[in-house]
């Protein structure tokens, strides 16, 4: 075996070993995520405290683009997202999700607050306040929601979303000023366990292959110099 072939073997082995490490790390992360799911199969964020002196809290535009995987929107198991809100001041709370264009029309001229960015550890949120003086119809009667829930205590929505732009809105159920709520989100990803073990298995195979190629190159080098 010539020198060029030995170098090619060593490089290929090194690349295979790097891929193996990435696969094993990704598999371990997937298994960890699977272990953190709750009894309903959701992987959830920590609960965050959101507050505003306006009539509504709304997320930035959430772009849902399923592409060729639009069948996920019809699945009861894959790609499901749940948002939960609970008032901190005892007022009945409303949480809903709608097309961003519909939310913008509903909140036009209304004082509301957009949540632009969230840091997890420690928790903090960046807000943008939109001025206005209009009192909207109560969110229950807005007629724009893909899914919504309101009442005392914890309220949750678990929408099926098609392609499009969406915003989540949290308000007092009567549309009054001053929103103070704990909010969390979760995603249902039922195949994390299978994905994790598949990645680890593939990574182990790639690692064995990579070490074998490197060892073969080293052996050929020793043979050539003997």
Domain ranges of the chain: 3-35+192-225, 42-188
Strands (E), 53-91: 57-59, 62-64, 80-87
CATH fold of the domain at 42-188 = Jelly Rolls (2.60.120)
Q: How far is CA 212 from CA 10, 129, 209, 217, in A?
A: 9, 60, 5, 9
Strands (E), the chain: 42-44, 48-52, 57-59, 62-64, 80-87, 93-99, 112-119, 124-130, 145-151, 155-157, 164-172, 179-188
Query: How many C-alpha atoms does 17 have within 13 Å on its Cβ side?
Result: 12
Task: Point out the least confidently predicted range of 46-55, 64-73, 90-99, 117-126.
Answer: 64-73
> Which residue would you say has higher pLDDT here, 168 or 224?
168
Q: Residue 152 above 70 pLDDT?
A: yes
The pLDDT score that the predictor gives to residue 72 is 43
Average pLDDT over residues 153-168: 84
The pLDDT score that the predictor gives to residue 173 is 94
Q: Report percent pLDDT > 90 for the chain.
A: 31
State the CB neighbour count (10 A cutoff) for residue 189. 19
């Amino acid at each position: 075996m010539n020198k060029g072939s030995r170098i090619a073997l060593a490089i290929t082995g090194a690349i295979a070993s790097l891929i193996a490490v990435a696969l094993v790390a990704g598999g371990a992360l997937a298994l960890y995520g699977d272990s953190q799911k709750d009894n309903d199969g959701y992987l959830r964020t920590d609960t965050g405290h959101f507050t505003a002196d306006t009539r509504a809290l709304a997320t930035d535009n959430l772009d849902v683009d399923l592409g060729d995987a639009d069948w996920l929107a019809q699945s009861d198991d894959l790609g499901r997202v749940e948002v939960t809100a609970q008032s901190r001041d005892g007022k009945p709370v409303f949480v809903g999700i709608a097309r961003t264009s519909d939310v913008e029309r509903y909140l036009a001229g209304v004082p509301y607050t957009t949540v632009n960015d969230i840091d997890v550890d420690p928790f903090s949120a960046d807000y943008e306040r939109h001025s206005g003086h209009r009192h909207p119809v109560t969110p229950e009667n807005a007629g724009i929601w893909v899914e919504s829930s309101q009442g005392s205590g914890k309220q949750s929505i678990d929408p099926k979303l098609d392609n499009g732009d969406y915003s989540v809105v949290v308000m007092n159920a009567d549309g009054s000023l001053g929103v103070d709520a704990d909010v969390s989100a979760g995603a249902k990803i039922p195949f994390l366990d299978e994905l994790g073990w598949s990645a680890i298995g593939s990574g182990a195979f790639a690692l064995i292959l990579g070490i074998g190629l490197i060892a073969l190159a080293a052996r050929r080098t020793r043979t050539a110099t003997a």
